[in-house]
Amino acid sequence: MNRAAQRVLLTGAAGFIGFHLAVRLLRDGHEVLGIDDLNGYYDPALKQARLARLLPEAGFRFERADMADHARIRALFEAFRPSEVFHLAAQAGVRHSLDDPRAYTRSNVDGFLSVLESCRHVPVRHLVYASSSSVYGANETVPFSEGDRVDRPVSLYAATKRANELMARSYSHLFGIPSTGIRFFTVYGPWGRPDMAYYGFTEAVFRGHDIVLFNDGRMSRDFTFIDDAVDALAALRGLPPAASGAEPPHALYNVGSGRPVELARFVELIARAAGRPARTVGRPMQPGDVVRTAADVSRLQARVGAAPATPIEAGLERFVAWFRAYHGVPA
């Protein structure tokens, strides 16, 4: 390893963002311990396919573990002695939290406690953890800024992510753990999650199925291309926050494009990239949904000197090309 190389513990390593971040960290010469429980929330074959690309890489090792198994996670920390931690493992999905709420408290709250306790007893230079734009909930001020009110979540998933931010801040205050929370705005791209709308839209276009657009497609989302998200994580990795006066060493950053796209337009762009027509059906809003998300990325830009910039057209072309290849869709 080079002189700047670090021992990085990465949870959720077989997940979408985790996989891409692992590739980046290994490319940059770091040693990575990846942890994932490979659960069946979506097709584990995709997680295994991502993992299969990581396992041959020098500097990478993998452990399958449940994040809520405190003793196991602590033991992995003590054996590996990471200098930096990326905690991306979580039970994802807004709508699924209506059906299986305990999965969210177990994975997102209890699992995060395992990480915080481990960082307390095995001190690290920097803990970076995944939050979500969902924490903004019923906030009507657009674009969303890190200083906005975030005490009105509209889903349990959002509540658990806000709980993570409060937990991290308290551990930073009590034990001096430098920690950075990332409020991701709808990350998309190759090797993405099948439970996310853009993946389902693309599959429906290729199969000729109807695409259900809630609120008749008049909802907009701030979409973030995966490479931009990983660039932000890689840049923030080397910038642990410092305590300032009474403020603990804890920071929050939006990671989004700052350019929302209406879902009806989004589907049109997928269809264009696929070279197929899209069939859409309008439906009312669903519980837990919000009409619009948009990120104020000025804080991120000030800290790292850049912000996500991939145009939605280019990002979707790359995703659709990967989708064709992975699923064997003929040109």
Q: Which residues are catalytic?
A: 157
Residues in contact with 32: Cβ distance below 8 Å, sequence separation at least 6, in sequence order: 8, 9, 10, 13, 22, 25, 26, 59, 60, 61
Helix, coil or strand: residue 127: strand
**In the chain, where do the E strands start and end?**
7-11, 31-36, 60-64, 84-87, 126-132, 179-184, 187-188, 210-214, 220-221, 224-225, 250-255, 261-262, 279-283
CA angle 42, 270, 233 (to 5 degrees): 60
Return d(Cα 96, Cα 156) in angstroms, integer. Answer: 10
Helix (H) or strand (E) holding 100: none
Return d(Cα 183, Cα 166) in angstroms, integer. Answer: 13
